Amino acid sequence: MDKIEQSTQRYEAVIRLALERGFFNPASEIYGDAPAGFWDYGPLGASLKRKFIELWRRELVRRDGMLEIDGAQVLSKNVFTASGHLKSFVDPIARCSRCRAVYRVDKLIEESVGIHVPERLDLDKIEKLVLENNIRCSKCGGELTDFSYFNMMFKLNVGATDVDAYLRPETCQSIFVDFIRLFKVMRCKLPIGFAQVGKSFRNEISPRQGLIRMREFYQAEIEVFFNPRKADELPKAEPLMDYTLRLKPLNSEEIIEIACREALGEKLLSSKLVAYYLALIQQFYEKAGIPREKIRLRQLGEDERAFYAVEAWDLEVETSLGWIELVACNNRGDYDLSGHQEVSGHEMTVQDDGEKVLPHVFELSMGIDRSIYCIIESALSNIGGRKVLRLNPELAPVHVAVLPLISREPFITRAKQIYDLLRLDYDVVYDDSGSIGRRYARQDEIGTPYCITVDHQTFEDDTVTIRYRDTTHQIRIETSKLLEFLSKNFRIS
């Protein structure tokens, strides 16, 4: 086993690669007052993230025929009255009576004495747990006081007269608010998925671990609206009914490998619709390059579920940091549309074959930044002493590098011509600095799947070599065939 196989070392190896090669870095990092939980994607990270989103668009949005919108991040106060976030999107906090440090007290209890504190437990019960277990300030040992629930939304004052509005804590609310308009103008029929990718914001008390728990983060959310009486009528689900899910149901310590059809037969899942979307999302991560055995769909108990969920599965991926939740798959029932219907006074029912229905919602709420972390960690490899980032080639930040074998003319000019030929349609770098071996190594480390090299033979027969990242195997190809080679290998630009 290579040393980066070991757990904290793998995490540190990701962060080192991120900082040293331009994947991501803390935002405002040159300033001492930079708040934690905000990150910038550098050129390589931005490219990887963009391609990950394109893969999501292809494998979920387009494959399923969903509609994708892009809503404002700032929404009115009433939106969050209706959604329940003003009341329920809260974390319990407490303050040290001596040094004034603030703690997310449920996590503090969990970390100090290993007791799991259920969501939305009464404050006096939380205080009792703290007293009984003699939990104190981790910094100065002071007593904890001022127990309260802290709302995690960021409030904004809009205009000079200070109208309250909020940064969205999840992207999906604009989908619910715009649902009736869009269902009509887009001539929809149930079931129909709406998708959105964008930033969300949560004022975490203690952000942690790089891209894993951020205050500003990217989500890709899918909200599938369906007639609850027809959740088992879904012809398009058929081809996936033999797909093998990796389920960890409540009350099971083991991961069960089971086909959708059988999971339905054994009533592990509530409907064919749920089985179909769980299959789609698991399949997506396999296509993104996460090894199948590192993926599980874990069912959540009542005390773990978000306040709007009646049934919930988390897609989790195993990393050196443990199992990480990447996608919350929530059956939200009619919670959202009935809430907005009540507070706004706008009717949210639609016609479904002559029946008037308030649709239910099944959601796939994906954390993009954490997914990027997991993809990078899982791709870190050591092949025969070479550091290689074994990304799915379609996700690689750089599609192809163009290198002159020797850093002088005429190699340089010819290599730059090839770079110019490719760079409008692909992410290409040109590099002539250092030995060819060192340049290959640089590309291996960031996951570039192909290196094109201009060598002596190029000037005889107009061919170049293409070197494959994982095998270092090289083929020769005519330069006139390069665009065709790339278009066969990359569907996502």
CB of 408 to its own copies, least distance (A): 18
Rounded to an integer, what is the distance from CA 3 to the centroid of its chain? Answer: 27
**77 backbone φψ class: left, alpha, beta (φ>0; ψ -120 to 50):** alpha
Q: Of 175 and 315, which has the nearer Cβ to its own copies?
A: 175
Parallel, antiparallel or unpaired: strands 400-404 and 428-430: parallel
Q: Which two tokens stand for residue 12?
A: 């540190």
Q: How far apart are CA 330 and CA 223, in angstroms?
A: 9
Q: How far apart are CA 67 and CA 402, in angstroms?
A: 38
Residue 445: Cβ within 10 Å count: 16
Distances (CA, A) of 250 to 29, 299, 301, 302, 332: 42, 5, 7, 10, 18
Q: Of 72 and 131, which has the nearer Cβ to its own copies?
A: 72
CB of 196 to its own copies, least distance (A): 8
CB of 154 to its own copies, least distance (A): 5
The answer to whether 310 and 332 are in contact (CB under 8 A) is: yes
Rounded to an integer, what is the distance from CA 137 to the centroid of its chain? Answer: 33
CB of 296 to its own copies, least distance (A): 27
The answer to whether 374 and 319 are in contact (CB under 8 A) is: yes
CB of 49 to its own copies, least distance (A): 7
Alpha helix stretches (DSSP H) within 300-350: 335-344
Q: Of 59 and 143, which has the nearer Cβ to its own copies?
A: 59
Q: Of 203 and 463, which has the nearer Cβ to its own copies?
A: 203
CB of 70 to its own copies, least distance (A): 4
CB of 267 to its own copies, least distance (A): 32
The answer to whether 374 and 324 are in contact (CB under 8 A) is: yes
Start-to-end Cα distance in the chain: 35
Q: Of 213 and 215, which has the nearer Cβ to its own copies?
A: 215
Q: Of 28 and 252, which has the nearer Cβ to its own copies?
A: 28
Q: Of 179 and 285, which has the nearer Cβ to its own copies?
A: 179
Q: Which two tokens stand for residue 73?
A: 């991040």
Q: How far apart are CA 127 and CA 125, in angstroms?
A: 5
Residues 6+ apart with CB under 8 A from 170: 200, 219, 221, 365
Q: How far apart are CA 47 and CA 287, in angstroms?
A: 18
Q: Of 41 and 308, which has the nearer Cβ to its own copies?
A: 41
Q: Of 186 and 475, which has the nearer Cβ to its own copies?
A: 186
Rounded to an integer, what is the distance from CA 231 to the centroid of its chain? Answer: 26
Q: Of 25 and 88, which has the nearer Cβ to its own copies?
A: 25
The answer to whether 126 and 106 are in contact (CB under 8 A) is: yes
CB of 482 to its own copies, least distance (A): 16
CB of 429 to its own copies, least distance (A): 9
CB of 177 to its own copies, least distance (A): 6
